[in-house]
Amino acid sequence: MVKYPFIAQARDFIAKKELEFKDIADAPAIRERAKQRIIASFPGQNVTVPPSRNTEIEIASYPTAIILASATEDSLLIKRYALYEAKIIKTYLQSEKTPEIVPAIAKSFKWQVRTDTYGTWINFANFLKNTSKGRLTQVSKWKLGNRALEKGWVLVSSEELSRLLQEEVQERIEESLDNKVAALPKEIQVDVEELKAEFLKVKPLLEEKFDIGPRAEEGEYPPCVTALINRVKSGAHLSHTERITMVTYLLHQGASTDAIARLFSKVSDFNEEKTKYQIENLAGKTTGQAYVTYNCSTLRTHGVCLNTTDPICSRIRNPLTYHKIKQGIPKRITAKN
């Protein structure tokens, strides 16, 4: 339960303890550990704080951290925290000595898993769901055509199963972080403000404002954005960071809310009203300030960068400046025979 706080046993443990907001507000040790979990995901934090030796505090700190991170309403903080927790859990999964543990964790997500003399097999639907987004889409070994496939089952190694579970865990955490709490006790709200203040100190390391100059033509978009547009046009699911990257980039290039919303129309869970609201939020309609596209370093961290050999990519810090360099490159001179 300490290592995998999302499993049913951990939720039952919290339920039996009947921990409510007022109890957490009066439990500074739980709140402090929850803040430690979040702060560990901030840039420049190279030391992982070890889990508390108190099992109850450690287990309770996970849902508390979810509440605190969600209450900051900072999408960048939320994304970093979800990725941090997912990577920690992947480390635990890869270090498990008992072979039954990792498949059991997969089954806790209602994955279809079976084992035989060849190894571990997962249902192709579970495989596709977690390989159709982020960095995994760019690695050939995760393409279904390159896998051992038998009657709808895909063969995976223990390490590969752990990596796929990281994607699942991150998505589940992000979904939890989308649940907003209407009112928080004063003590918890103070914690939230402290986290926001701490993150504000390091946020410039992740994003900055750019003079993008003349807008880009579609053929001048950076490779990462072009790939995201092509994927969403085909109906592929984009991760939280991928959606923000594509939408903020297109907004800065003058694309309208309606035009961007139409790009998502082939995605299975498309909701036009909700999509337009989210785009308008990124455009600054509700906050008064438009979101800036994440820096390339952040996109590399979250698996959005294609790690391309494009010479322009090696010269920029943010996708918004890609076209400025491309527009300044002289036309290639063809050598005479």
User: Domain residues of the chain, as ranges?
Assistant: 8-73+180-205, 94-167, 218-328
CA separation (Å) from 170 to 201, 303, 330? 25, 13, 43
How do residues 210-267 score in pLDDT, each as one tens digit? 555 677 888 899 999 999 999 999 999 998 889 999 999 999 998 999 999 999 999 9
- Residue 333 tokens read as 């001179």
Q: How confident is the model at residue 27 (pLDDT cuts 50, 70, 90)?
A: confident
User: Whole-angstrom Cα distance, residue 200 to residue 319?
Assistant: 22
Q: With pLDDT > 70 as the criterion, what percentage of the chain qualifies?
A: 86
Specify the pairing of strand 119-123 against strand 113-116. Answer: antiparallel
* Residue 141, pLDDT score: 86
* Residue 211, pLDDT score: 56
Q: How confident is the model at residue 44 (pLDDT cuts 50, 70, 90)?
A: low
- CA geometry: angle at 333 spanning 328 and 337, to 5°? 175
Contacts of 235 (CB under 8 A, 6+ apart): 266, 267, 268
- First-last CA distance in the chain: 71
* Residue 121, pLDDT score: 94
Q: Is the confidence at residue 288, as pLDDT, over 80?
A: no
Instruction: Output 214 or 152, whichever has higher pLDDT.
Output: 152
Q: How confident is the model at residue 34 (pLDDT cuts 50, 70, 90)?
A: very high
pTM to 2 decimal places: 0.59
Encode 35-64: b = buried (16+ Cβ within 10 Å), e = exposed.
Answer: bbbbbbbbeeeeeeeebbeeebbbbbbbbb
Choice among 155-164, 221-230, 289-298 with the minimum mean pLDDT: 289-298
Q: Is the confidence at residue 206, as pLDDT, over 80?
A: no
- CA geometry: angle at 175 spanning 194 and 99, to 5°? 105
* Residue 49, pLDDT score: 61
How do residues 59-116 score in pLDDT, each as one tens digit? 889 989 998 998 888 888 888 888 888 888 888 888 888 878 888 888 888 999 998 8
Q: How confident is the model at residue 336 (pLDDT cuts 50, 70, 90)?
A: very low
